[in-house]
Amino acid sequence: MRPGLCLPVGIASLIALLPALNLQAQQSKIVIPRGESTIVLEPYAPNVIRVTLSLDKDEATAAPGYGIEAKPAPAGWSYEAGESAHTYRSSRMVVTLLGGTGGHHDAVPAPEPTNVQKTQASIGKFFNGSAPWADIRFSTPDGKLLLEMNGWQMSVPNHKDGNATILNEKRPSDKDFYQVGATFASPADEHYYGLGQNQEGYLDHRGHTVECWNNYVATGGPTWCIPFAVTNKGYGLVWDNPSQTTIMPGFNEQTRWLSQVGNRVSFFVIAGHSTDEIYGGYRLLTGATPLLPKAAYGYIQCKQRYITQDELMGVAKGYRDRHLPADVLVVDWFYYTKMGQMDMDPKNWPDPKAMNDELHKMGFQTMISVWPRFVPDDRFYDSINKKGWFEHLADGTPTNGLPYDRAGSDIDTTNPEAARWYWDTIRDNILSKGFDSLWADETEPDLPPNGSYYHIGPGTRYYNVYPLFHTAALYDGFRRDTSHRALILSRDAYLGVQSKGTIVWSSDIAPTWDTLKRQVPTGLDAAASGLAYWSNDTGGWQYLPGEHHPAHPPLLDPSDARDNVGGYDDYPELYTRWFEYATFLPIMRTHGSRNFNEVWSYGKQAEPILEKYLKLRYELMPYIYSMGYSTYESGAPYMRALFMDFPNDAKAADLNDEYMFGPAFLVAPVTDQGVTTREVYLPAGTDWYNYWTNERVHGGQTISVNAPIDQLPLFVRAGSIVPLGAPVLSTNEPQALAKVRVYPGSDGSFTLYQDDGKTYGYEKGESKITRLHWTDAAGRLVHEGAEAWSGPDDALLQIVGGK
């Protein structure tokens, strides 16, 4: 500045502030005092930002909670503190905190709303909020509003709110308990998806209260919580609090998040031009979804339970003698002599190592159930107890379920020493017998932790985290001590579980048509929560009723399956419809409490239909496995509610009984008894092909589709490229491409992925990637990258409709 040059006071003040503002813009977070509270803005990418509010500055500035792996990344963000607002912006997002400041360290309280009536002022003498007012708006650089937070709370538990007794669930040495929450504006046309597993039967959560916690006895079926919501407004929200959380979406033009215990409000906003970009942000925050062993994408055969080694070998022989494909056989619970004994009863399992060796030669892998429970008279209980490794009460007593639950106590795998011991013990006593993968049952944990304590703190505060720690204990062990990919079947989930080689299932559901119908939206929301590998017990887990007589004549004769279905006349029909649906799930696994549960167990009329879909699953293996790679790369699921791929089609926003399976297939399961047609909506903007007839139909309409008992309504989007594999008995066999099928009507692309299917070599680029592209106008398929087949293209290319 030249000597003697005078500037207006406001400009001079701004210039004086610039060094501080520029310095702060280079820091990982913006810290803004607001009365008695502190507000922190912390970017993780140009389209991902964390917001934290607390009455305790140390809590506001602390790192995120469990499940978040990413580190802050402020590059590209700039900050400005004006008289009316704080503004933090990147190339993708503008975050505005209303209420100005005279400088970074001298913030003044934001003005309260000015339209306060006298009565409101009088009410304020007796009833007041728990935190200073804050309004934070998230927009795109071109001015489109994504989200607005217009209030928050951090309240001491009290009798007015009815939560005073929760203070009994903390020890004097624990952090103070507060109830924390935030309120967001909710436009009338906003839809909410994800939020973990809720089995009440809806897809869009708007207008439905979501109880986001692990709850085995929840309405409709067991729930678990992934506090991640994806909306149709171009953003996703990750709520960073592991206590029991209630979400109230779209009530009174607001959406509220309310957590039982916390010391701050902490959440992430992810902006996305598409839903897949939102999932990319979730992947950044919580970790990539690794490729599973290729066998996991095939068929997993299970029941409750194979009691003996001979029985399991008989099932394996049954599949191979019939030349039917199958990959994984499962040994469920009670193979041991005691709960927690970590052994196999020699009366029933005389030589499990030799059994597994033989099964491996037959092309099978094996999975075995491991529980975190230990009874007082097993060989490990006393040692675990002396080391303080159980979930426990305030006085250190292990939590148990007496008098009704006599299965002992849960090991506390939030303790790193206990987690390492748990893996080592399973490795040495179970996996050493040749088993390939683990079923981590009862990961709620089975004994709800509220009022109990973990190594990391009160179970009430950390209610939902056990599935993350427990699966991590196993996954980390697999990565450390084995050379093959981890596969862990877990009952429950939390933020980040998808990064632990985990598949999750909908737990112990009932064998009813109502349950089947509700499984469709349940799975779609689970996948929308960033957990691509969701499955269910095909056929339902619970025991069949003694009698069930349907309202309509059964489509399949149950008479030659009475030893299995008893008096449940329509069960072969139900199982067949369920099996057809399961063919188009990310994980195809059958399970349940029937006498028999193999594809030949439900009568001679059902058997050929079940075989047809089992073989179809393996024919689609090149397509399905390539989708697994796509999820690894992008974080986006490949079982997709229609809102993901058709955001501009209003009719697709809340369709909860059909979905996309990858980019090509529209799946419309039949979930009603006795019907042989169903209505299917074909989204607008594309043509569709009936998979069974190759009939081409325009999108944007609802049509009536024939659905005889052997046909799942299935359509393929025009422009799709679908690679099909030659028949194999398991993914352990090399599978040649049999066809590359093209459905004309639009340009299309597909990335075909191949690797060894077993190791983590893919993380080092040890794979074959072939990019296929169809140019519709020219009627030509081209490919680049790795060679995926030998011989001329015409020998494999199949153009539907003969174009």
716, 691 in Cβ contact below 8 A?
yes
For residue 309, the 8-state DSSP code is: H
Please report the DSSP string for 21-41 in residue order.
HHHHHHSS-EEEEETTEEEEE
446 is catalytic: no
378 is catalytic: no
Residues 6+ apart with CB under 8 A from 118: none
Residues 6+ apart with CB under 8 A from 570: 548, 550, 554, 558, 673, 674
Q: Which of 378, 100, 136, 116 is nearest to 237 (CA)?
A: 136
Phi-psi region of 103 (alpha: psi -120 to 50; beta: other; left: phi over 0): left
Catalytic residue among 169, 441, 570, 755: 441
Q: What's the N-to-C CA distance of the chain in angstroms?
A: 74
Catalytic residue among 444, 446, 619, 645: 444
481 is catalytic: no
What gap in Å lies between CA 85 and CA 136, rounded to an integer?
10
What gap in Å lies between CA 607 and CA 594, rounded to an integer?
16
Please report the DSSP string for 252-295 in residue order.
TTEEEEEEEEESSEEEEEEE-SSHHHHHHHHHHHH---PPPPGG
Q: Cα–chain-centroid distance for residue 195?
A: 9
731, 747 in Cβ contact below 8 A?
no
* Partner residues linked to 677 by β-bridges: 706
Widest CA span of the chain, in angstroms?
104
What gap in Å lies between CA 407 and CA 365, rounded to an integer?
29
Q: Which of 605, 580, 609, 578 is nearest to 594 (CA)?
A: 578
DSSP alpha helices (H): ranges in 32-117?
57-61
Q: Is 563 helix (H, G, I), strand (E, B) or coil?
A: helix
* Partner residues linked to 490 by β-bridges: 440, 504
CB atoms within 10 A of CB 397: 12
Exposure string for 112-132, b = 16+ CB within 10 A, e = fewer = eeeeeeeeeeeeeeeeeebbb
Catalytic residue among 508, 611, 633, 710: 508
Active-site residues: which are they? 441, 444, 508
